[in-house]
Chains A and B, each alone.
Chain A
Amino acid sequence: MKIGSYQSSIEKRIVCTSLDAIKIAVLSIVLTFILFSLFFWLEGISPVTGYFQMFSYAFGTSTGIELTIRRMGFMLLVTLAFIFPQRAGVLNIGATGQLYAGMLAAIGIGLWGKSLGSWTLMPLMVAGAILSGGFLSAFVAYLRAKMNVNEIVVALMLNSIMFYLVKYLIEGPWMDPSGRPESAQLVKAARIPMIPGTSVPYSIFLAIAIAVVLYFVLSKTSFGYEIRLTGANPACARYAGVSFLKIALLTMFIGGAIAGIAGVHQTAGIRGVYRIHRYFALYPGTWAYYGIVFGLISLSNPLAAIFVTFFFSGMQVGTQALQSRLGMGYGADLAFVGILMIVLVSGQYFYHKKIVWHKIGKRGRTEGTYK
Chain B
Amino acid sequence: MITWEFSVAFIQASMIFLLAAIGELVNQRSGVLNVGLEGLMLVGALTAFAIAEKTGSPWLGFAGGMLSGGLIGLLHGFLSISLKADQTVSGMGMWILALGMTTYLGQPLSGPLRADGRLESVMAGLTPMFFIGVIIVICVWFGLFRTKYGLWIRSAGEDPSVAVVSGLNVTRIRYICVVFGGVMGGLAGAYLTLVYNPVWSPNPTMGRGWIALAIVFFSMWRPEILLLGSFLFGFLWHLAISPSALQFQGINLSYHFYRMIPFIATIVVLTVISSKKISRIIGADKPAALGKPYFDKE
Contacts and interface: CB of A to CB of B under 8 A. Distances in A.
A153 B275 contact: no
Contact of B94 (A172, A342, A348): A342
B98 A338 contact: yes
Given A91-B88, A157-B214, A345-B85, A338 B103 contact: no
B89 A296 contact: yes
15 contacts: A147-B274, A157-B214, A157-B264, A161-B260, A165-B256, A172-B254, A280-B202, A289-B92, A331-B99, A334-B96, A335-B101, A338-B98, A339-B93, A342-B94, A346-B85
Contact of B99 (A172, A334, A349): A334
Nearest to A331: B103
Contacts of A282: 203
A167 interface: yes
Contacts of B93: 293, 338-342, 344-345
B103 A279 contact: yes
Contact of A292 (B85, B89, B211, B254): B89
B86 interface: yes
B297 to A, nearest CB: 12
Interface residues of B, number: 48
A341 B96 contact: yes
Contacts of B90: 341-342, 345-346
Interface in A242-275: none
Interface in A296-350: 296, 328-342, 344-346, 348-349
A305 B155 CA distance: 42
Given A91-B88, A153-B213, A153-B270, A338 B104 contact: no
Interface in B244-275: 254, 256-257, 259-260, 263-264, 266-267, 270-271, 274-275
B104 A39 contact: yes
Nearest to A149: B274
- Secondary structure at the B interface, as helix, strand, loop or mixed, is helix
Contact of A154 (B103, B107, B267): B267
Determine which residue in A12, A158, A168, A352 has the highest number of CB atoms from chain B within 10 A of its CB, and name it. A168
Contacts of A279: 103, 107, 202
A124 interface: no
Interface of B: 35, 75, 79, 83-86, 88-90, 92-105, 107, 202-203, 207, 210-211, 213-214, 217, 254, 256-257, 259-260, 263-264, 266-267, 270-271, 274-276, 298
A37 interface: no
A91 B90 CA distance: 13
B256 to A, nearest CB: 4
A331 B202 contact: yes
B257 A168 contact: yes
B104 A149 contact: no
Given A157-B266, A296-B89, A341-B89, A333 B100 contact: yes
A165 B271 contact: no
Contacts of A165: 256, 260
Given A147-B274, A335-B97, A280 B84 contact: no
Given A165-B260, A345-B89, 6 more contacts: A292-B89, A331-B103, A332-B100, A334-B97, A342-B93, A345-B93
B259 A164 contact: yes
A45 interface: no
Nearest to B104: A331
A136 B64 CA distance: 40
Contacts of B86: 345, 348
A130 B99 CA distance: 29
A295 to B, nearest CB: 10
Given A93-B92, A345-B93, A161 B263 contact: yes
Contacts of A219: none
The residue among A12, A150, A161, A165 with the most chain B CB atoms within 10 A of its own CB is A161
A7 B267 CA distance: 53
A143 interface: yes
Contact of A349 (B84, B94, B298): B84
A360 interface: no
Contacts of B211: 157
Contacts of B103: 279-280, 329-331, 334
Q: Which of A39, A143, A149 has the most CB of B within 10 A?
A: A149
A160 B100 contact: no
Contacts of A281: 202-203
Given A149-B274, A157-B210, A342 B100 contact: no
Contacts of A212: none
A154 B260 contact: no
Interface string A153-191: 110111011001101100110000000000000000000
A152 interface: yes
Which among B83, B86, B263 has the highest number of chain A CB atoms within 10 Å? B263
Contacts of A331: 99-105, 107, 202
A157 B271 contact: no
Nearest to A323: B104
A324 to B, nearest CB: 14
Contacts of B275: 147-148
Contacts of A335: 96-97, 100-101, 104
Nearest to B35: A152
With a 10 A CB-CB cut-off, give which of A143, A157, A286 has the most chain B CB atoms.
A157
A143 B84 CA distance: 28
A292 B274 contact: no
A311 to B, nearest CB: 19
Nearest to B87: A345
A147 B79 contact: no
B21 to A, nearest CB: 12
